[in-house]
């Protein structure tokens, strides 16, 4: 079963700290606060058939290896992902995520800077699980099962069932998730 720590292992926390001019501890805390919210938003959007189709299309664009450094990440694409996931709720989600854990110096502004960096990494990770590293052009999900680890709902379900994600999604973000593109 895939868990949050597997996703976290793909995030270049030290590089994020350098890029944003913050301490590695603050960067790690921010990433740990961002991941559950982002995964919860993806799961909420994927629970709708149109949202699921939109996410599957996005995953095909992020198949392959995850970026290893911040300089390898298309943060403009990351910003689009965040907008598609949270819609008009991005500022509110960032504030809630910043308030989730009373970590010093993890502000909503830092969360908003971390989200577009982490979003493409998360999609690359999910794409590797869902597509097994293969492009969707070779496998139609309508007629054949993905070559990866299972269906999208199962993969996201495994990630959001992580206790850390559950506590974040439950009371904190529940009303804000699902506001993205469907």
pLDDT digits (tens, 9 = 90+) for 30-47: 999 899 889 888 888 888
% of residues, the chain, pLDDT over 90: 30
* Ranges of H-type helices in 87-162: 90-100, 108-131, 152-160
pLDDT for residue 172 is more than 50? no
Q: What is the pLDDT of residue 39?
A: 87
Q: What is the pLDDT of residue 156?
A: 66
- Segment 93-114 mean pLDDT: 87
Q: What is the pLDDT of residue 145?
A: 35
CA distances (Å), origin 169, targets 135, 163, 175: 31, 10, 9
Q: What is the pLDDT of residue 109?
A: 94
- Segment 135-148 mean pLDDT: 36
- Which region, left, alpha or beta, applies to residue 140 given φ > 0 means left and ψ of -120 to 50 means alpha? beta
Three-class secondary structure of residue 70 per DSSP: helix
| Comparison of pLDDT for 77 and 100, the residue scoring more | 77
Task: Tell me the chain's radius of gyration from C-alpha atoms.
Answer: 15
Confidence class of residue 53 from pLDDT cuts 50, 70 and 90?
A: confident
pLDDT for residue 153 is more than 60? yes
Confidence class of residue 139 from pLDDT cuts 50, 70 and 90?
A: very low
- Segment 94-99 mean pLDDT: 88
pLDDT for residue 9 is more than 50? yes
pLDDT for residue 120 is more than 80? yes
């Amino acid at each position: 079963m895939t868990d949050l720590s597997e996703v976290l292992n793909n995030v270049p926390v030290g590089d994020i700290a350098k890029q944003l001019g913050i301490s590695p501890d603050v960067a790690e805390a921010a990433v740990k606060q961002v991941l559950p919210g982002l995964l919860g938003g993806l799961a909420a959007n994927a629970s709708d058939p149109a949202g699921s189709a939109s996410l599957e299309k996005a995953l095909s664009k992020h198949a392959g290896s995850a970026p290893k450094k911040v300089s390898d990440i298309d943060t403009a694409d990351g910003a689009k992902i965040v907008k598609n996931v949270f819609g008009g709720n991005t500022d509110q989600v960032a504030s809630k995520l910043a308030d989730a854990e009373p970590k010093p110096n993890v502000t909503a502004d830092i969360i908003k800077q971390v989200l577009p960096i982490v979003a493409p990494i998360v999609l690359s990770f999910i794409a590797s699980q869902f597509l097994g590293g293969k492009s969707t052009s070779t496998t139609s999900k309508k007629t054949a099962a993905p070559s990866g680890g299972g269906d999208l709902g199962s993969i996201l379900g495994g990630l959001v069932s992580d206790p850390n994600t559950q506590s974040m999604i439950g009371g904190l973000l529940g009303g804000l998730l699902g506001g993205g593109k469907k």
